[in-house]
Amino acid sequence: MSTEIMKRAAELLKSGEVSLVLGWRVGDFDYDLTPSKFRTAEDLEKNCIYNDFSAANLSKYLIKTLRKEEGKVLVFLKSCDTYSFNQLLKEHKFDRERVYIIGVPCDEKVDFDKVKTILGEDIIKMKSDGTTVTVTTTEGEEKTIAKSEVILQKCVNCKSRKHVVYDELFGDEGEVLNSHRFDEVAKIEAMKPEERYEFWRGELSRCIRCNACRDVCPACTCEHCVFDNEESGVEQKVASNDFEENQFHIIRAFHVAGRCTDCGECSRVCPEHIPLHLLNRKIISDIDEFYGDYQAGDDVDSIAPLTMFNQVDVEPSIVKSRGDN
Amino acid sequence: MLTLKENQLDAFFALIEKKRELYLPVEQNTGKSEFKRWAEGDKYSTALRTTRSAKNFFFAKSENLYDIEMNDKKVEVIDTRKDCNDFVIFGVRACDVRSFDVLDNVFLADPVDSYYKNRRDHGLVISMACSKPAATCFCALFDIDATSPNGDIQAWHVDDTYYFDPITEKGDAFVEEFKECFTEADDAPVRKQKEETLNKIEKLPFVKLNLDGFATEEKLTELFDRPEWKDLSEACLGCGTCTYVCPTCQCFDVKDYKVSEGKTKRYRVWDSCMYSNFTKMAAANPRLTQTERFRQRFMHKLVYYPIKNEGMYGCVGCGRCLVSCPVSMNIVKVIKTMGDN
């Protein structure tokens, strides 16, 4: 599939219809792909790949790229990435006319780190055929593992296979899935307050405040983040006490509330494996409950529940009472 | 060589912990290992690498420098260095041990960083030889021998036995203090393991990269001006993951925190050259774009640092950035692009 996709993108590049392509550049181990710009058909066909390791969501790169570059940009988007794209469009981050989207089919991505944890660190080659991941070790030994055992956290309970926006689609039109993504939230909600507090304090205690979650987040697009402002007193970098670090994540979750599409990039990039997506998912589930089902990025026209007032809106006292238990 | 059976390890740890603070890698609920203060029931993790490096022990993520207390019109400055107790770090890999040398060149050079030195003086390092290197390991590129990991006491783990070899005065004194724990045994198994491991290391993909031309002043400007920096840095998010998991990144910032009225804490924290407000001056960060910030990090490790430190590189090949970078951009890709590889 990758070859056909790249061939088509190369055509568009050659014809001048698009001036550059945003894709994933091959690395040293098959799995270590880097988001990258491709300006020539030759570079694209040789070094760009779409496979089970193309996990990075490329939509946020469009902001920077479209500011710097001339012409139309082609971008490959997976179904979940298209929600981020729409949300960015809704926030007027770029011009739709300047983007050509090739929707690429996705049936969950592989967590290469998980593969290494299970099969060993001495892996020099890693391939996935969609059902099985096969690795080759430095000693030349081959090992396999079922793909279903090494799915990226963000793809477990995938919410949608539907590309909500595209110019051209590879594969079949997908559907919104009956996802069980809120089950993980329910598990935490069921905890006693002290238990829940301990859970989050424990998870967040590993934070090294690298800000990768923020920097990768397609909803974090402030020109100047409050955490980059040394006058704010809550500047990035490690805080004076560990509670401040916890606060950082909570503030961030609230700031992207109603705009977070649940793409899960925050959890994917966290070097400390903190399940950050659960904070956002909790807020999404509350919004659904209080204001009716809403999926950020589903479209570009609707008014988001947190940015409008409606007479049937839930009373603040109800919201507050939720915090009491 | 001095040895200890695996089933005696916990008793050994308990004994150390009675006299010192003991830190060692322990598996977390994430399946990854991190250094932590040993407590009854903790099991030493033989994982190849902790997510975070061991630099935290000497150059802490966040370190209180002093407290300032104001009573009426009297200002009192309280030194916090006395709060540091003697500690032992067990199970440090050769790459992380070398990182202490890299940090020493910075913090112990004149003017000596007394906070760092204080921690260095209080700490004792028991290293652990590697026997199962990862494909992302390339310490050998920087002439580090993962099978002779240095530190105050070097250690090996072969089958059910741990072998110890003190190599500093501090290490000798420690072994003497805990001599009832050890028994003498032949070191043939260690020699055998070393040989086997070195064979494995030989086959790792990055241990023979070409570093020619990096650590020379003549090539400095040429490297600095290379156009490839732009493409390499294109995907960089500007987050600090690489710098914070890196055992040799040593930049910090000093900040004040108002605890309460009349009470202030001055502390230092890890900083990152990847950040937009790093080394911010009156105007701005002198490195205006991510390309310049990205270039700085790698020029520092591969060019500036070795030029100033008799050829010792500012990278130890631990491979953490290869594992943790959100966009899989790392020092190996930089060496491959910029070097003659």
Q: Given this model, what pLDDT does residue A40 score?
A: 97
- Report, as an integer, the average pLDDT of B140-156: 98
**How many beta-carbon contacts under 8 Å exist across A and B?**
136
**Alpha-carbon span B46 to A121, nearest angstrom:** 13
Residue B51 near chain A (CB below 8 Å): yes
**pLDDT at residue number A138:** 92
Task: Say if residue A253 is in the same domain as residue A200.
Answer: yes
Contact A269 B136 (CB under 8 A): no
Longest dimension (CA), chain B: 69
CB-based contact A138 B135, cutoff 8 Å:
yes
* Assigned domain for A156 exists: no
A212 close contact with B: CB closer than 8 A: yes
Give chain B positions within 8 Å (CB) of A138. 133, 135, 200, 203-205
Structure tokens at B98: 């070398």
pLDDT 10s digits, B35-88: 999 999 999 999 999 999 999 999 998 898 999 999 888 999 999 888 889 999
Residue A174 lies in a domain: no
Nearest CA in chain B to A272: B51
DSSP annotation string for A188-250: HHTS-HHHHHHHHHHHHTT-----HHHHH-TT---SS-GGG-GGGS--SS--SSHHHHHHHHH
**Cα separation of B197 and B201, whole Å?**
6
| Plot region of A71 (φ>0 → left; ψ -120 to 50 → alpha; else → beta) | left
Shared-domain flag, residues A30 and A123? no
Say what the pLDDT of residue A165 is: 98
pTM of the model: 0.94
Output the CA–CA distances (angstroms, integers) from residue B306 to B146, B180, B254, in the order listed.
21, 43, 26
Q: Residues B248-265: pLDDT tens digits?
A: 999 999 988 888 889 988
Q: Grade residue B134 by pLDDT with cuts at 50, 70 and 90.
A: very high
Task: Assess whether A207 and A297 both reside in one domain.
Answer: yes
- Report angle CA A61, A67, A68 to the nearest 5 degrees: 90
Among candidate residues B316, B205, B147, B30, the one with its CA nearest the CA of residue A117 = B30
Q: Do B203 and A139 touch (CB under 8 A)?
A: yes
Residue spans of chain A under pLDDT 50: none
Q: Residue A277 is part of which domain span?
A: 181-322
Could you report the per-residue pLDDT of B175-226, keeping only the tens digit for each? 999 999 999 999 999 999 999 999 999 999 999 999 998 999 999 999 999 9
Q: Are residues A206 and A303 in the same domain?
A: yes
Count CB neighbours of B79 within 10 A: 10
For residue A33, being part of any structural domain is answered with yes
Domain boundaries along the sequence of chain B? 2-202, 217-338
Within 8 A by CB and 6+ apart from A275, the residues are A153, A184, A203, A267
CB-nearest to A34 from B49, B134, B327 is B327
**Which residues 6+ apart lie within 8 Å of B121 measured at CB?**
none
In a domain, A280, yes or no: yes
Query: In terms of domains, do A36 and A118 share one?
Result: no
Nearest to A249 by CA among A273, A231, A272, A266: A266
Taking a contact as any Cβ pair under 8 Å apart, which residues of chain A between 133 and 192 contact chain B? 137-139
Same domain, A83 and A128: no
CA-CA distances (angstroms) from residue B34 to A200, B16, B30, B46, B94? 18, 19, 10, 11, 16
Same structural domain for residues A289 and A189?
A: yes
Residues of chain A found within 8 Å of residue B240, distances taken between Cβ atoms = 208-212, 236-237
Give the C-alpha separation, B293 to B273, whole Å: 6
H/E stretch holding A24: strand A20-25
Decide if A230 and B277 are in contact by the 8 Å CB cutoff. yes
Measured distance CA(A271)–CA(A269) in Å, rounded = 6
Question: At a CB cut-off of 8 Å and minimum separation 6, what does B251 contact?
Answer: B243, B270, B271, B272, B273, B278
Predicted local confidence at residue B203, as pLDDT: 94
Q: Is residue A157 part of a domain?
A: no
Total domain count, chain A: 3
Residue B244 near residue B53, CB atoms below 8 Å: no
For chain A, the first-to-last Cα distance in angstroms comes to 50
ipTM (interface predicted TM): 0.93
The C-alpha atoms of residue A81 and residue A79 are separated, in whole angstroms, by: 5
- pLDDT value at B173 more than 70: yes
- Chain A 37-96, CB below 8 Å of chain B: which residues? 37, 56, 61
Check residue B276 and give its pLDDT. 86
pLDDT number for residue A239: 56
Shortest CA distance from A64: residue in chain B: B234
Q: Using a CB-CB distance cutoff of 8 angstroms, which residues of chain B are in contact with residue A39?
A: none
Same domain, A195 and A278: yes
Mean pLDDT of chain B, nearest integer: 95
Both A89 and A118 in one domain: the answer is no
Predicted local distance difference test score (pLDDT) of residue A242: 66
pLDDT at A237: 63
Would you state the pLDDT for residue A229? 80
A7/A50 same-domain check: yes
Same-domain pairing of A186 and A318: yes
Q: Is A70 part of any domain?
A: yes
Closest Cα in chain A, distance from residue B225 (Å): 21
Instruction: Say whether residue B288 is in contact with chain A using an 8 A CB cutoff.
Output: no
Token pair 């992207």 in the structure block, residue: A256
Apex CA A177: angle with CA A173 and CA A183, to 5°?
A: 160
Check CB contact under 8 Å for A212 and B326.
Answer: yes
Q: How far is CA A317 from CA A178, A321, A323, A324, B309, in A?
A: 31, 6, 10, 11, 64
CA of B327 vs chain A CAs: smallest distance (Å): 5
Are residues A200 and A311 located together in one domain of the fold?
Answer: yes
**B280 three-state secondary structure:** coil
